[in-house]
Structure 1
Amino acid sequence: MSTEQALDVRAFNRFYTRRIGMLAPTLSGSEFTLPEARVLWELAHHAPVSAAALSKTLQLDAGYLSRLLRGLKGRGLLAEQAHPSDGRQRLLKLSTAGKRAFAPLDRGSQAETEALLAPLSTPQRQALVGAMSRIQSVLEPDAAAPVELRPPQPGDLGWIIQRHGAVYAAEYGLDARFEALVARICADFVDHLKPEREACWIAARGAERLGSVMLVQARDEASGRLRPGTAQLRLLLLEAHARGLGVGKRLVRQCSDFARAASYKRVVLWTQQGLTAARAIYAAEGYRLMDSENMRSFGQQVVSERWELTL
Structure 2
Amino acid sequence: MSINPSLIEEIRAASRTMVRELGFMKPTLAGTRYSPSAVHALLEIDMHGAMPAAQLVQALGLEKSSVSRMAGKLIEAGEIEETAALDDGRFKQLALTAQGKRTIAEIHAHGQQQVISALKRLNPEQQSLVAQGMGFYAGALKQRHLQSDETSGNTIEIHTGYRPGLVGRIAQMHADFYSRHWDFGQFFESKVAAGAAEFMGRLHQPVNQIWSAIQNGRIVGSIAIDGQDLGSNEAHLRWFILDDGCRGTGVGRQLLANAIAFCDEHNFSATQLWTFKGLDAARRLYESFGFELTWEDTGSQWGYPVTEQRFTRKPT
Is the CA contact (8 Å cut-off) linking 2:291 and 2:312 kept in structure 1? yes
Query: Could you say which residue in structure 1 is the equivalent of 2:180?
Result: 170
| 2:242 counterpart of 1:232 | no
Give unpaired runs (5+ residues) of structure 1: 1-48, 62-133, 221-226
Query: Could you say which residue in structure 2 is the equivalent of 1:149?
Result: 158
Distance in structure 2 (CA, Å) of the matches to 1:138 and 1:285: 31
Distance in structure 1 (CA, Å) of the matches to 2:213 and 2:175: 18
Instruction: Give the drift of 1:53.
Output: 7.1
Query: Could you say which residue in structure 2 is the equivalent of 1:23?
Result: none
Change (3 A) 1:297 1:53: farther
Change (3 A) 1:149 1:229: same
The amino acid across from 2:289 in the alignment is E
Give 3-state SS (helix, strand or coil) of 1:231's partner: strand
The one of the two structures with greater contact order (alpha-carbon pairs below 8 A, sep at least 6) is: 2
Instruction: Give the drift of 1:194.
Output: 3.2
Instruction: Give the drift of 1:51.
Output: 10
Instruction: Give the drift of 1:218.
Output: 4.4
- The correspondence of residues 118-267 of structure 1 with structure 2, limited to 5 A, is 138=62, 142=146, 143-145=148-150, 146-151=155-160, 152-220=162-230, 227-267=231-271
| 2:279 counterpart of 1:280 | no
Instruction: Give the drift of 1:206.
Output: 3.0
The amino acid across from 1:238 in the alignment is L
TM-score, scaled to structure 2:
0.52
Instruction: Give the drift of 1:138.
Output: 4.6
Is the CA contact (8 Å cut-off) linking 2:202 and 2:208 kept in structure 1? no
Distance in structure 1 (CA, Å) of the matches to 2:196 and 2:303: 22
- Listed one character per residue, the Cα deviations across residues 97-126 of structure 1 (whole Å, up to 9, x for unaligned) are xxxxxxxxxxxxxxxxxxxxxxxxxxxxxx
Instruction: Give the drift of 1:155.
Output: 1.2
- Listed one character per residue, the Cα deviations across residues 116-153 of structure 1 (whole Å, up to 9, x for unaligned) are xxxxxxxxxxxxxxxxxx9xx75696332432211242
Distance in structure 2 (CA, Å) of the matches to 1:310 and 1:192: 24
Distance in structure 2 (CA, Å) of the matches to 1:180 and 1:217: 22
Change (3 A) 1:302 1:218: farther
Is the CA contact (8 Å cut-off) linking 1:176 and 1:298 kept in structure 2? no
| 2:303 counterpart of 1:299 | yes
Give 3-state SS (helix, strand or coil) of 1:291's partner: strand
Query: Could you say which residue in structure 2 is the equivalent of 1:310?
Result: 314
Change (3 A) 1:207 1:303: same
The amino acid across from 1:284 in the alignment is S
The amino acid across from 1:261 in the alignment is E
Change (3 A) 1:296 1:138: same
Bigger mean CA deviation after superposition, 163-172 or 286-295: 163-172
The amino acid across from 1:160 in the alignment is I
Change (3 A) 1:150 1:192: same
Instruction: Give the drift of 1:286.
Output: 0.6
- Listed one character per residue, the Cα deviations across residues 244-274 of structure 1 (whole Å, up to 9, x for unaligned) are 1122122112111001112212110111112
The amino acid across from 2:149 in the alignment is A
Change (3 A) 1:170 1:194: same
Query: Could you say which residue in structure 1 is the equivalent of 2:275?
Result: 271
- The correspondence of residues 55-70 of structure 1 with structure 2, limited to 5 A, is none
Q: Which has the larger radius of gyration?
A: 1
Distance in structure 2 (CA, Å) of the matches to 1:236 and 1:138: 25
Question: Which runs of structure 1 show a deviation greater than 6 angstroms over 4 or more consecutive aligned residues?
Answer: 49-54
The amino acid across from 2:178 in the alignment is Y
Distance in structure 2 (CA, Å) of the matches to 1:197 and 1:268: 14
How many residues matched? Answer: 187
- Listed one character per residue, the Cα deviations across residues 24-51 of structure 1 (whole Å, up to 9, x for unaligned) are xxxxxxxxxxxxxxxxxxxxxxxxx979
Query: Could you say which residue in structure 2 is the equivalent of 1:4?
Result: none
Is the CA contact (8 Å cut-off) linking 1:199 and 1:214 kept in structure 2? yes
The amino acid across from 1:187 in the alignment is A
The amino acid across from 2:201 in the alignment is D
Distance in structure 2 (CA, Å) of the matches to 1:299 and 1:273: 16
Instruction: Give the drift of 1:208.
Output: 3.5
Distance in structure 1 (CA, Å) of the matches to 2:182 and 2:281: 13
Give 3-state SS (helix, strand or coil) of 1:274's partner: coil
